[in-house]
Structure 1
């Protein structure tokens, strides 16, 4: 199975060509939000370097969100266009699940992306089994941490946005949380996406496939923050 995997859902640009679980070539780069300029040239360069063509693909996989609105949309649009043009199956995979697979330990793995206003896109996964403990969603960070504080499991928070919230995370969870210092583990890898895609069912209709932004409606977010400020 020859797979092209694309993840532009956050500041990291990652593209990989994977065949039968072997990484033929992969790019993982922290960029300055210029995915729209870099994605297609990167894809073309990878095919050229391994002397293969897009027509040989068996599957196209893309990070479907959540994450940066623009970043998610760029990756999904390119993946849909390629899938339609080449008549190839398309699989969407959670951006959070991709990141969570970087650590496989008996612990809670919490991939986290900043969603502003003290809210985050996050999910909670069991590292050893990859089972979902808390589904991907848009959460008020304090509430999520309070919920996690009830568990005695050790926890790893993943993602480049964790640093800005680390003091709060550590103050709530104490020694149950383990800081991930390895930058490589805090970045999504398209090769992981490619292998995850093999566990998923391709979309029924490429045209109907849409990103999973998971963002709460503005009115609901305002209400939630208002209740927090009231101490409710």
Structure 2
């Protein structure tokens, strides 16, 4: 089987082609460019360099979120469009689990996080000794809330993700020596890891592509503002 992997869930861009369990080509970058203009050219470069035609793909793996609303939407839209055109299945994987898979030999808790602004994060925690089973569900958390969920686990927690650095002081203040920082080499998502995780899941029917939706874990800011405005309007109308 030939897989294409796409991760645009945050600032980093990761794409890869894996054939019969071997990485054929992979590209990872952490440049603040709009994925709407960068993701498809990166995929086209993989096809060009590997001499693999899109029609040869067997399946597509995509990071389904959580993460940047726009980033997640771009990756999922690309995956669905390609899959529908080629009549192949799409398999979605948690973008946080993809990061956690970068440190497969840590036996305690692995916490992946991404900055969600205003001292909030998209985060999830996984049991490194049990096939990355969720011990803190993927979600949108304040740092205080996330740390309050991790502390009672009373285990070492390894934090991974390129946004960890900006929260590291707060993390250490809360968890002390129980907090461990992953090497910087593990902080970016790898689409080959995404594909490896997708291969562990049941392969859906190509017709299921229409039902595939991203996992945002938080409504878009524009929608949140609209809801806030509607509530304010109702309150004013009731006065």
Q: When the two structures are superposed, what TM-score results if normalisation uses the length of structure 2?
A: 0.87
Deviation at 1:128, TM superposition (A): 2.6
**Match in the other structure for 2:184:** 183
Deviation at 1:147, TM superposition (A): 2.4
Give 5+ residue unaligned stretches, structure 1.
222-232
Deviation at 1:41, TM superposition (A): 1.2
1:22-75 deviations in Å (ceiling 9; x for gaps):
110000111213211111111111111111111111111100111111111111
Give 5+ residue unaligned stretches, structure 2.
229-239
Q: Distance in 1 between matches of 2:145 and 2:227?
A: 15
Mapping of 1:1-232 within 5 angstroms? 1-104=1-104, 105-129=106-130, 130-180=132-182, 182-203=183-204, 205-215=208-218
Deviation at 1:218, TM superposition (A): 7.0
- The number of residues matched between the two structures is 220
Query: Measured at CA, do residues 202 and 107 of structure 1 come closer, stay the same or move farther in structure 2, by a change above 3 Å?
Result: same
Please provide the CA RMSD for this pair.
1.8
Higher Cα Rg: structure 1 or 2? Answer: 2
1:115-148 deviations in Å (ceiling 9; x for gaps):
1222211111011321211111111211221221
2:214 aligned counterpart, secondary structure: coil
Deviation at 1:98, TM superposition (A): 0.5
Q: Distance in 1 between matches of 2:92 and 2:160?
A: 21
The answer to whether the 8 Å contact 2:136/2:149 transfers is no
The answer to whether the 8 Å contact 1:83/1:89 transfers is yes
Query: Measured at CA, do residues 219 and 172 of structure 1 come closer, stay the same or move farther in structure 2, by a change above 3 Å?
Result: farther
**Match in the other structure for 1:226:** none
1:213 aligned counterpart, secondary structure: coil
Q: Distance in 2 between matches of 1:122 and 1:219?
A: 25
The answer to whether the 8 Å contact 1:203/1:209 transfers is no
The answer to whether the 8 Å contact 2:26/2:191 transfers is yes
Query: Measured at CA, do residues 138 and 37 of structure 1 come closer, stay the same or move farther in structure 2, by a change above 3 Å?
Result: same
Q: Distance in 1 between matches of 2:149 and 2:140?
A: 14
Deviation at 1:219, TM superposition (A): 10
1:178-230 deviations in Å (ceiling 9; x for gaps):
122x3220110000001111112345521221110001667999xxxxxxxxx
Q: Which range moves more in the overlay, 160-169 or 147-156?
A: 147-156
